[in-house]
Chain A
């Protein structure tokens, strides 16, 4: 497992499709949108994510099995016939459970990143804008959260809070806070020196208003990129906790816990080990590619 990705990790990957020609006359967001649409790896990422969303909505409607009902006479069926990806150790349809698990995994990712943003964005903006002891305090706090390598902080928190959906979201959410603080602080440091912020100060606009109306909105471009990459990381960590048996608990379908349980049958049924991991890999890859495209689109200089 990993340290949270930063916005430069995927820099340069096949950023081949940037479309600048014909962009004249567009607003900056219009140009960014056009660059994103022309970005090959971003398009691939969006397509994969759409596939997941469609699968999680449509498959439960067309597959008429109960995802949580055990049927031991149907256990370990190979991928064929009525079960496209076969059945698991309790005779449940693997494809249906994977599709339903996508909901939990994507929800955990989005909710955790939302916590990271809700806490990290204002703290980072305040840290960069005010400086002084506020900056010192927030930076030491960030250092402390970053001192736990990789999955360790989330693991320690879940060990204390107990497994389950809510606690996984809180733990992974807290893990994603420091990345957003660092990034927003860096943006705020440069934005606070710009003439329009200085003009605001000279006019007597309250500091909190400057932070809310100017510093945070203008720091958003790198934050959006980081949030997308962080979604991938949150999914990796949450599924990792599930794999260890500390995430969302069975019988609720979740990719990590499905993979963890399938380990017991690795000699007899390799399909069960393959598909949940492939699902996690696909989702994380999609978010990383989309983040890469967003970075190129929002700030072509970073390429």
Chain B
């Protein structure tokens, strides 16, 4: 197991380096003089020079790259050109809101998705199965940003039932602001998790040991939940972790729809205000989180299923 863990960790290093390189290149891709573009049309020459120096754009490219990587290793993501705070501070202030949303949506998608998947697998090719499969295709075809707006129209404007989205006032215990953003974010994943659970359950239900369990008289519920589901959950765990990453990406759009103060919203605002240190920081943090979640899933998977370690 240790060899496997070391191997997987080593494999993550070039990926992290590649992500850091792309993030480094982002500012250098800006058309024309990057410092002038970042400073905006109203900037004076002095402002542009300050930015040029802050981004080390006055140094040779290799030195710029080396310096960028060294600062990252120190945990220094730079200073926001808009607020003057460190990028790390900006992200840490906003991150809890995104994490709350992503975790709640993952939980919702897992519980509903797995339940629907089991229902579909135990009744293959019935109307219910086809309906659940159809729902999953509808889910992956749905633009989350439109779904969010439609939920606002239906529940907040027409029915006056739910909070428009966005956080309750400080100290308030009203959680209804979470309902619409979480549902919006989760609906996309529900279909995928249901799909995955259905396929995996159908495969496992056809195996010999399940037939044996049935033959020796175990009741249907025990066979389904104790024997089949446990083994069918392995690929589902992977799907859920991949979905967690997709939810981090999806948060950019959902947070814009609901004016949610998370890091997705921070990213979009920073793009518009040309606050490139924050853009770089958020892209880096979201990608590294995604890599870490995938790595943890791989390790968890290998821990649960020894066959993977020896493959």
Q: Check A149 against B246 for contact (C-beta < 8 Å).
A: yes
A211 at the A/B interface (Cβ < 8 Å)? no
- Set of chain B residues within 8 Å of A243, measured between Cβ atoms: 143, 145, 253, 256
Q: Check A150 against B143 for contact (C-beta < 8 Å).
A: no
User: In the complex, what's the smallest C-beta–C-beta distance from B37 to chain A, in angstroms?
Assistant: 9
Q: Check A3 against B246 for contact (C-beta < 8 Å).
A: yes
Could you tell me the distance between the alpha carbons of A152 and B289 in the complex, rounded to whole angstroms?
Answer: 13
Could you tell me the distance between the alpha carbons of A285 and B145 in the complex, rounded to whole angstroms?
Answer: 16
Q: Check B267 against A155 for contact (C-beta < 8 Å).
A: yes
- Other-chain contact of B133, A13, A276, A277 (Cβ < 8 Å): A13
Given contacts A14-B134, A147-B19, contact A156 B192 (CB under 8 A): no
Q: Check B249 against A266 for contact (C-beta < 8 Å).
A: no
A17-25, A85-93, A119-127, A157-165: which lies at the B interface? A157-165
A144 at the A/B interface (Cβ < 8 Å)? yes
Q: Check A270 against B143 for contact (C-beta < 8 Å).
A: no
- Set of chain B residues within 8 Å of A8, measured between Cβ atoms: 199
A140 at the A/B interface (Cβ < 8 Å)? yes
- Other-chain contact of B249, A41, A152, A259 (Cβ < 8 Å): A152
- Set of chain B residues within 8 Å of A245, measured between Cβ atoms: 272
A66 at the A/B interface (Cβ < 8 Å)? no
B71-79, B279-287, B296-304: which lies at the A interface? B279-287
Interface residues of A in 190-208 (CB under 8 A from B): none
B31 at the A/B interface (Cβ < 8 Å)? yes
B146 at the A/B interface (Cβ < 8 Å)? yes
Q: Is the interface of A mostly helix, strand, loop or mixed?
A: helix
Q: Is the interface of B mostly helix, strand, loop or mixed?
A: helix
Interface residues of A in 267-290 (CB under 8 A from B): 267, 270, 273-274, 276-278, 280-281, 284-285, 288-289
- Set of chain A residues within 8 Å of B141, measured between Cβ atoms: 232, 236, 281, 284-285, 288
Given contacts A240-B145, A284-B141, contact A144 B249 (CB under 8 A): no
B42-50, B147-155, B226-234: which lies at the A interface? B147-155
Q: Check B248 against A277 for contact (C-beta < 8 Å).
A: no
Could you tell me the distance between the alpha carbons of A151 and B15 in the complex, rounded to whole angstroms?
Answer: 18
- Set of chain B residues within 8 Å of A263, measured between Cβ atoms: 149, 257
B136 at the A/B interface (Cβ < 8 Å)? yes
- Set of chain A residues within 8 Å of B252, measured between Cβ atoms: 1, 150-152, 155, 244
Q: Check A280 against B271 for contact (C-beta < 8 Å).
A: no
- Set of chain B residues within 8 Å of A270, measured between Cβ atoms: 153, 157
A79 at the A/B interface (Cβ < 8 Å)? no
- Using CB atoms, name the residue of chain B closest to A262: B149
Q: Check A240 against B137 for contact (C-beta < 8 Å).
A: no
Residue interface bits A91-114, CB-to-B below 8 A is 1, else 0? 000000000000000000000000
Residue interface bits B259-280, CB-to-A below 8 A is 1, else 0? 0000000011001100000010
- Set of chain A residues within 8 Å of B143, measured between Cβ atoms: 236, 239-240, 243, 259, 277, 280-281, 284
- Other-chain contact of B290, A9, A148, A232, A276 (Cβ < 8 Å): A148
Q: Check A149 against B137 for contact (C-beta < 8 Å).
A: no
A56 at the A/B interface (Cβ < 8 Å)? no
Residue interface bits B88-125, CB-to-A below 8 A is 1, else 0? 00000000000000000000000000000000000000
Given contacts A147-B18, A244-B253, contact A285 B279 (CB under 8 A): no
- Set of chain A residues within 8 Å of B69, measured between Cβ atoms: none
User: In the complex, what's the smallest C-beta–C-beta distance from B95 to chain A, in angstroms?
Assistant: 15
- Set of chain B residues within 8 Å of A160, measured between Cβ atoms: 25-27, 29-30
B240 at the A/B interface (Cβ < 8 Å)? no
Q: Check A13 against B136 for contact (C-beta < 8 Å).
A: yes
- Set of chain A residues within 8 Å of B267, measured between Cβ atoms: 155
- Other-chain contact of B150, A273, A284, A292 (Cβ < 8 Å): A273
- Set of chain A residues within 8 Å of B31, measured between Cβ atoms: 161-162
Interface residues of B in 51-68 (CB under 8 A from A): none
- The 14 sampled A-B contact pairs (Cβ below 8 Å) are A12-B195, A41-B137, A144-B22, A147-B291, A148-B249, A148-B286, A148-B287, A150-B248, A156-B23, A156-B279, A160-B27, A160-B29, A273-B149, A277-B150
The 6 closest A-B pairs by CB, nearest first: A150-B249, A277-B146, A144-B18, A149-B249, A285-B141, A160-B29
